[in-house]
Structure 1
Amino acid sequence: MQEALWIKLIGTVPAILWVAFASVVYFTLRGTIVQRLVPRVTAVRALGIEVEIAGELLAEAESRSSPSGENDGRPPPVRTSTRRAALGRLEHAADLLQGGRILWVDDHPQSVAPLAQLFRGAGMTVELTLSTDEAMPLLRSQPYDILISDIDRHGDSQAGIAMLRVLENDRVPVPVLIYTGNFVPERGVDRRIFAATTSAVELVHYVIDLMERARLTSL
């Protein structure tokens, strides 16, 4: 009887050793695992209860055919697959977007609010200003990864372009994205502009492109 008990005890030794080994590995690597996974999961959830709210925000932004606030009631056609592709890229870029800083200049901030909320949910800081006069003190005093601007402000159809010249004169190297409802690609893009678009989906891609470039240059 005693011999049988000892045989059973000896038989359990390998299992106990495996459990002990797994425990040691887990507690040793737990910090690394948490550091790698938690920011990503947090960022994805912060996009709005998983990704559903992010999709709603992007759809709402796309439905506003004129980011400058002059909606003519005809939202640009956007395929569901195109929107999903942007959301998928946004999710996979969670680590890149975390901590990014955007300064947004638009005299109709309510029209860009869904996108601002979307980027904030992805872990970025988004500050909204109404004019070049409000934006420049901020740009001179602190770094931003991206400047997003409209073109027509307060009755001046070239306000956004004029701001580019101020950036050059003050030697502010921030990359510029133009998001406006009256952009005409055929007229060309100013040399100071990284990209210009009327599409919220395209803007999401451009923001990710710039953040990828910013992270690479900082290595």
Structure 2
Amino acid sequence: MSDALWSKLIGTVPAILWVAFAATVYFTLRGTLIQRLVPRLTAVRALGVEVELAGELLDRAQDESQTTVSATARRTALGRLEHAADVLQGGKILWVDDRPEGNTPLVELFRAAGLHVDVALSTEEATPMFRRRPYDVIISDIDRDGDQQAGIKMLRLLEQYKIDVPVLIYTGRFDPERGVDRRIFAATTAPVELVHYVIDLMERARLRSL
């Protein structure tokens, strides 16, 4: 074999070695790359569906509450939900209302966002729940079973049992003259506002846990 041919063969060896090396790396890491990339791609594809679902649930909640909301306020609430995903994940809410059917869209919305939501129909039902389990937020109405002070009375029980959990009042009508409590973070009749308040409180809860 001539010297020129040997020179050509020797010259091609590095290229062959690089191809072999690249192939080895690819087949070695292929499984790991797929495992890491596919869930991310799936999450990106699912994101549009999740945002669409959140919008539908928020619209249903608006219909139930018979309140109006601007397109900007709706878009802002959905944007916060999307960006607060890590903050909301695993959070715990206790929702006390003797007519929970009107809250169903918001309960579904919060659960879809990763929050755990327990529902109680009365203060009597809620009491062993908040005594046994730590919640990040309690959502409550005011009037229950004909008692116009039921929600306020529940706040007194929280004080009695030394349970320091922020409370959101979500009701069709809220009159501060009936009584207020330091635990009441906010009161609203609007689903969009409730979404913002829940995110606000979950952000505070995460900061306290650091």
Find the partner of 1:89 among 55, 58, 80. Answer: 80
Rounded to whole Å, the distance in 2 between the matches of 1:149 and 1:90 is: 21
The residue that corresponds to 1:7 in the other structure is 11
Measured against aligned partners, the alpha-carbon deviations of 1:90-146 in whole angstroms (never above 9, x if no partner) come to: 111111111111110001111001110111111111011100000001111111111
* DSSP 3-state at the match of 2:185: strand
Is 1:215 matched with 2:209? Answer: no
2:144 is paired with a residue whose SS is coil
Tell me what 1:68 maps to.
none
What is residue 63 of structure 2 aligned with on the other side? 63
Shift of 1:11: 3.3
Distance 1:82 1:18, change over 3 A: farther
Q: Which moved more, 1:15-24 or 1:117-126?
A: 15-24
Tell me how many residue pairs correspond in the alignment.
Answer: 204
Q: Which runs of 5+ in 2 are unaligned?
A: none
Shift of 1:189: 4.7
Q: Does 1:179 align with 2:170?
A: yes
1:85 Cα deviation after fit? 1.1
Task: Calculate the aligned-residue CA RMSD, in Å.
Answer: 3.3
* Contact 2:139/2:170, CA 8 A, preserved across alignment: yes
Q: Which of 133, 141, 165 is the matching residue for 2:132?
A: 141
User: TM-score, normalized by length of structure 1?
Assistant: 0.79
- Counterpart of 1:99 in structure 2 is 90
Structure 1 pair 50–147 and aligned structure 2 pair: CA distance change class (3 A): same
Closer, same or farther: CA 110–2 of 1 in aligned 2, 3 Å: farther
Structure 1 Cα separation of the partners of residues 108 and 146 of structure 2: 27
Note closer, same or farther for the CA distance 1:187–1:3 as it changes in structure 2 (3 Å cut). farther
Q: Distance in 1 between matches of 2:28 and 2:175?
A: 62
Which residue of the partner structure matches residue 109 of structure 1?
Answer: 100
Counterpart Cα distance in 1 of 2:53 and 2:90:
21
Query: Do the aligned partners of 1:189 and 1:196 also contact (CA within 8 Å) in 2?
Result: no
Identical columns (%)? 57
Give a deviation string over 1:53-92, Cα, whole Å, max 9, x none.
Answer: 1110011101222xxxxxxxxx322112211111111111
CA–CA distance in structure 2, aligned partners of residues 30 and 169 of structure 1:
54
Question: Which residue number in structure 2 is paired with residue 168 of structure 1?
Answer: 159
TM-score under structure 2 length normalisation: 0.82
Aligned 8 A contact 1:96 1:212 in 2: yes
Shift of 1:197: 0.8
SS in 2 for 1:128: strand
